Amino acid sequence: MSFTDLGLSAPIQKAIAEKGYTDPSPIQAQAIPAVLAGKDVMAAAQTGTGKTAGFTLPILEILSKGDKVRANQARTLIVTPTRELAAQIAENVEMYGKHLPLKSTVVFGGVKINPQMTRLRQGVDILVATPGRLLDLYNQNAIRFNQLEILVLDEADRMLDMGFLRDIKKILSLLPKNRQNLLFSATFCPDIRELAKGLVNNPVEISVSPKNTTAETVEQLIYSVDKNKKAPLLTHLIKTHDWQQVIVFMKTKHGANKLTKQLDASGISAAAIHGNKSQGARTKALANFKDGTISVLVATDIAARGIDIDQLPQVVNFELPNVPEDYVHRIGRTGRAGASGHAVSLVCGDEIDLLNDVEHVIQTHIPREIVEGFEPVHALPASRKLRALKAKKPKKFKTDKPEHKDGQRSGDNARGHKPTGKNRRHTGNSSSSNPYANSPGKPSGNSGGGRRINPSPAK
């Protein structure tokens, strides 16, 4: 299948060609016809599958045919958990829509609200937003939804993990009932199914790859090393392999800051990216990383979510994550869209339980190596035998210091609206227990001009 078969108009095709895409990715091949046909969509798709274009391209097509947007209105709302992800989606919207006369903007917390209010004054065809700032703007009458046609909830699982359920429900209550709903989530845990019940109506269900399987193009390796030798080993690896662009994952903001200083002290240019950094500092770190001014980006899971750097060759897990599914997201930073990549994990003896959890989720034992000069004193015990994945009840997770919740309003805690901090293990992940079998929508022939009426109001 090629993009020309999907019913997208010439200005969009031109932007796709300029981006260098030749064929739609599997999620695009399934989602684009379904969205164009006016269907609700529920898609299990990880970052790296091309899902952003999967919803953006047909939305642009639909919007290019409808009514002109009025002041302080938005015709499409894309809600996403983090500032980085929001900025990235907005970039994509702009790029794919550059030959169309549509207006779009992005709003998120951590920056001044006034310029965002000014941009919304004329109305926008597509508004990309984090939940907290969106509600702040609504409360200040800067945005209204009378003209809203399409809602996208992106990375819905992460939004729930970050405690945004209440904000999302509030947002849903503000939207017109007749609209098209697109729900994207890396995993479909019971909480997401619950959310979906009041949201999507008779959706086309799409699952592009078995959940929590790691990209086949990513080579994974474990370096068994003592905890206190991890930083010297990382420096050694970066220098001996001459890694030019590497993301290093940490569990905590404090750890990220400390490691960044250690790397800098050994002559390796690094920057930390996490929730305590100002938006300006985060944008600058990412820009410097992308243009090669710095070679190491030290990131926490939440901050790193959504970062998209083409063909990032190297990912390092300095610590294994508490939530094993985060391992899959982390290594999804490399080997994207068919490019090959490497993901190495520095694992000490204490982390054997975390390693067992990761290997259980990915259903593979990761090869191990020991680097000469960094032999561990506390050996990493042998991994547990793999057991088949099966659906489990959601379980509360103990996290280290909770990360700042991106996109959350500064007054939330004061108003007693705290993030739940419930990092759940997403369950029901085996492909055998996956009810989201491939079921691409049958285009109805309605190429997007007419909007479907959704009889099931969002609560």
- Between vectors from CA 429 to CA 427 and to CA 435, what angle results, nearest 5°? 105
Least Å from the CB of residue 23 to ligand AMP: 6
In angstroms, the CA 450 to CA 433 distance is 36
Nearer to ligand AMP by C-beta: 89 or 366? 89
71 class by beta-carbon count within 10 Å (0-12 exposed, 13-18 middle, 19+ buried): exposed
- Smallest distance, Å, CB 199 to ligand AMP? 21
Could you tell me the smallest distance in angstroms from the CB atom of residue 420 to ligand AMP?
26
Taking the complex as a whole, how short is the minimal distance between the CB of residue 341 and ligand AMP, in angstroms? 12
The residues near 417 (Cβ < 8 Å, ≥ 6 apart) are 166
Amino acid at 351: E
The nearest distance, CB 387 to ligand AMP, in angstroms, is 30
Nearer to ligand AMP, 76 or 454 (CB): 76
Residue that is written with structure tokens 């054997």 in the block: 352
Q: Which is nearer to ligand AMP, 47 or 80 (CB)?
A: 47
Q: Which residues bind ligand AMP (CB under 6 A)?
A: 21, 24-25, 28, 47-53, 308, 310, 336-337
Rounded Cα–Cα distance for residues 387 and 366 (Å): 15
Element (H, E) at 200: none
Minimum gap (Å) between residue 413 Cβ and ligand AMP = 31
Q: What is the nearest approach in angstroms of ligand AMP to the Cβ of residue 12?
A: 13
Q: Compute the distance between CA of residue 380 and CA of residue 224 in angstroms, rounded to an integer.
A: 6
Residue 229 tokens, joined: 């030798």
Q: Kindly state the tokens that stand for 160.
A: 């729930």
Cβ at position 55, least distance to ligand AMP in Å: 9
Backbone torsion region of residue 211, taken as left when φ is above 0, otherwise alpha when ψ lies between -120 and 50, otherwise beta? beta
Q: Go through 381-409 and write b for each residue having 16 or more CB atoms within 10 A of its CB, e for each that does not.
A: eebeeeeebeeeeeeeeeeeebbbbbbbb
Beta carbon nearer to ligand AMP, 42 or 69? 42
Judged by beta carbon, residue 109 or residue 306, the one nearer ligand AMP is 306
Specify the residue for token string 């990549």. 341
Strand order through the sheet with 296-300: 270-273, 296-300, 246-250, 314-317, 341-347, 218-224, 368-369
For the CB of residue 16, give the shortest distance to ligand AMP in the complex, in Å.
7
Closer Cβ to ligand AMP, 50 or 428, answer by number:
50
| DSSP H or E run through 307 | none
CB 78 to ligand AMP: min, Å: 12
Q: Return left, alpha or beta for 164; rule: phi > 0 is left, psi -120 to 50 is alpha, else beta.
A: alpha
Please identify, using beta-carbon distances, which residue of 7 and 394 lies nearer to ligand AMP. Answer: 7
**DSSP-assigned letter for residue 6:** G
Task: Please say which residue, 54 or 324, places its beta carbon nearer to ligand AMP.
Answer: 54
| Cβ count near 91 (within 10 Å) | 14
Tell me the two tokens of residue 424.
């759940």
**Strands 204-207, 41-44: pairing kind:** parallel
Is 186 in contact with 158 (CB distance < 8 Å)? yes
Q: What is the rounded CA–CA span in Å between residue 36 and residue 46?
A: 22
Quick one: 24 or 255, whose CB is closer to ligand AMP? 24
Q: What is the DSSP string of 309-333?
A: -TTB-EEEESS--SSHHHHHHHHTT
Smallest gap from residue 131 Cβ to ligand AMP (A)? 20
Of the two residues 136 and 301, which places its CB atom closer to ligand AMP in the complex?
301
Nearer to ligand AMP, 24 or 110 (CB): 24
